[in-house]
Structures are given as structure tokens and as C-alpha cells.
Amino acid sequence: MLVEKFSIPQISTGDMLRAAVREQTPMGLKAKECMDAGALVPDEVVIGIVRERLQQADCASGFILDGFPRTVPQADALKQTLVELGKELDSVISLEVDIEALVERLTGRRTCSACGKGFHLKFDPPAADGTCSACGGTLVQRDDDQEATIRNRMDVYHQQTAPLEDYYAQDGLLTAIDGMAEISSVQQQIVSALQAG
């Protein structure tokens, strides 16, 4: 929704790491172990890929960071990179969702292996089981969307990522958004926060 509305790219470190895993690059092979365990990939790896990505031409008039930064050292490195590139963050969104709701959302998540479209077994099911309603591709589940791994990812979030709420609140950039509301309401709240930022 944000990519279309603002015509800027979504920079998802998770997507970039999953692409590296698929392509079996040396970085992908190393990252896979951490990802399958629900742990974080080392800071220097993700900092390197984001730094490179932000310098590409399509980021010139803005970008959405998704899943990055996830640790204080990553946030510090981002700050330094943005100074070097003469850019600034406008806004940081904290989407707040109950843990049990997150487990339900993530365990039911399926993605088309051909076109990347997302589905949910309960909230947005495909017309035919296991098949993408848009392109007919096969739907797959992320390896780290198993319940035990999801709960580990939540623990990692609380230990390593939650401190960023204070970090960005101190910078005056943070807006907390109720992620338990209807999808359209969550979208509206995010757009309002970005337009105010």
C-alpha cells in the first residue's frame, strides 16, 4: 500500500536475506541458520546490505525500511549512513499487536512462490488450496513461520528490538499504531503518521 501510494521502494531486509538464501550465496548460506532458528543475522551483514541498497537510484526520493533496524547498533549505523548520504528519517512506526494474534497471523501466512503475493489460510484464503489465485503458482510457508520459531522471534524482538521504541521516541520520530484494528484503519493510521512526519 505504501509503495503504491508514495511511489517509493520497500526495503525489506528479510526479503533480501531470503533472496540470498534462495540464490545460495555465501551470505545466504550463513544467514539461513540464524533465520531458521528465529535468531537475528549478524549486524554487520544486514548493515552492509542496507547501506548498499540505499545508494541505488530508486531510493533517491524516499524508501520504506521494513524489518530494519532491529538492534541498537543497526540503528546507530543507519543514522551514520543517512548522514553520509544526506538523508533523514521522517517517521518510525511501531505496529502493536498481541502475541497470540501475531502467532495466528504468522502460522496462517502463505506466499506464492511464483509472484510473491501473500495469503492467509483464515483471513485471506486462496480460491483453491495451495494455489495462488492471481497467477496459479504454488503457495509456500516460510520456514520460520512454525509456531516454536515464531515464539523465539518474539523473545528476540523483546530483547533486542524493543529498546528501539525508546531510541526513536527520544528522537521524536516514533508513532505507535494499534495493529489490532481493521486492516483499512491500520493503513489510514500509518498514512496519517507519515504525512504528519
Applying the rule CB under 6 A, the residues between 71 and 90 that interact with ligand AMP are: 74
131 versus 142: smaller Cβ distance to ligand AMP? 142
15 versus 166: smaller Cβ distance to ligand AMP? 15
Q: Does 110 bind ligand AMP (CB under 6 A)?
A: no
CB of 169 to ligand AMP, least distance (A): 19
38 touches 31 (CB < 8 A): no
Q: Does 14 bind ligand AMP (CB under 6 A)?
A: yes
Reading the block at residue 147, the C-alpha cell is 509456531
32, 116, 158, 163 from 138: Cα distances, Å? 22, 10, 34, 38
Applying the rule CB under 6 A, the residues between 132 and 171 that interact with ligand AMP are: 144, 153
Helix or strand or coil: residue 35?
A: helix
Size of the site for ligand AMP (CB under 6 A): 17
CB of 71 to ligand AMP, least distance (A): 7
27 versus 177: smaller Cβ distance to ligand AMP? 27
* Sign of CA pseudo-dihedral 174, 180, 183, 185: negative
Contacts of 138 (CB under 8 A, 6+ apart): 112, 113, 114, 130, 131, 132
Helix or strand or coil: residue 74?
A: helix
Q: Does 179 bind ligand AMP (CB under 6 A)?
A: no
Q: Does 106 bind ligand AMP (CB under 6 A)?
A: no
